[in-house]
Structure formats: C-alpha cells, structure tokens
Amino acid sequence: MDDETSVSRQTAHAYVESAERRDWEAFAALLAEDVVYEMPQTRERIRGRSAFLRFNMDYPGDWHLTVRRVVADGRHAAAWLDTRVGDERQDACVWFEFSGEGLISRVTDFWPEPYEPPAGREHLVERW
C-alpha cells in the first residue's frame, strides 16, 4: 500500500514535470494505453494515450506548469498546480487514477477561474 502510494506520488509529479519540459516520450510512458481524460467543466472527454498525447502536444500558448501540492493515496492522487501562460496565472486541480501497473488510467482536470465574491460576507473575510 505504501509502495503503491509512493509510485502514485512520483508519477503525479513526473506527469507535471515531463509536460513542463515538453518531454513527450517521458510523458507518454506514464500513461496507460486506454487512459481517459475528462474536463467536467466543458463536458469533454479524450480516450486513449495517442489522442491525449496529441491534445497536450498541440495545446496552444507558451504554458508553464508548477506543482503546488501533490496528495497521493494508494491508486489515487490529486495535484494542485500553478499554471502560467505569459502574464496570466491560474490554479488547476488534477485528479489521477492509476492502473495496477502504476500507469495513469484516468485524469480529471478542473480549471477554476477568478470571479468576484458575492456581497454579504465582507464582515467575515479579508481580500488579498
């Protein structure tokens, strides 16, 4: 169980780091052949290593990814990323599932955008 968690943790880090380096060979080697990628916000799904690799290789912009946190637990992990394209930065939340061989079998991405807070809670909060 601890070994499984270690492999999941390392693989989640390697996923982000290999994408950041545009090392697509290393990136692809982390993925199960039948990996499924989902973006619930747009209800988009990509099936299979080759389509998912193409999606990442073709992703527009001079994007950069840094791990803020990885939490791994058996065959699951979650990563909180700091992403940048030019001067724009955004957090991302990525959920991973792993196969018995330690390959990434499912990735679920969330891209939470900034918004203005609703009125009525100013007495409880500070802003930064």
- How far apart (Å, rounded) are the C-alpha atoms in residues 23 and 64? 13
Q: Does 120 bind its own copies (CB under 8 A)?
A: yes
Token pair belonging to 46:
């990509």
Whether 27 and 39 have beta carbons less than 8 Å apart is answered as no
SS3 111: coil
Q: Which of 22, 29, 34, 41 binds its own copies (CB under 8 A)?
A: 41
- How far apart (Å, rounded) are the C-alpha atoms in residues 36 and 32? 9
Q: How far is the CB of 63 from its own copies (least distance, A)?
A: 13
Phi, psi values for residue 47, rounded to 5°: -110, 130
Part in contact with its own copies (CB under 8 A); list of ranges 14-22, 24-32, 88-96: 88-96
Q: Does 67 bind its own copies (CB under 8 A)?
A: no
Q: Which of 21, 34, 47, 85 binds its own copies (CB under 8 A)?
A: 47
Q: How far is the CB of 126 from its own copies (least distance, A)?
A: 5
Q: Does 33 bind its own copies (CB under 8 A)?
A: no
Question: Would you say 22 or 110 has its CB closer to its own copies?
Answer: 110
Q: How far is the CB of 17 from its own copies (least distance, A)?
A: 18
Contact residues for 71 (Cβ-Cβ < 8 A; gap 6+): 77, 78, 79
Report strand pairing: 63-73 vs 76-85.
Answer: antiparallel
Contact positions vs its own copies (CB under 8 A): 2, 5, 9, 39-47, 51, 54-55, 58, 60, 69-73, 76-78, 80, 91, 93, 95, 108, 110-117, 120-121, 124-128
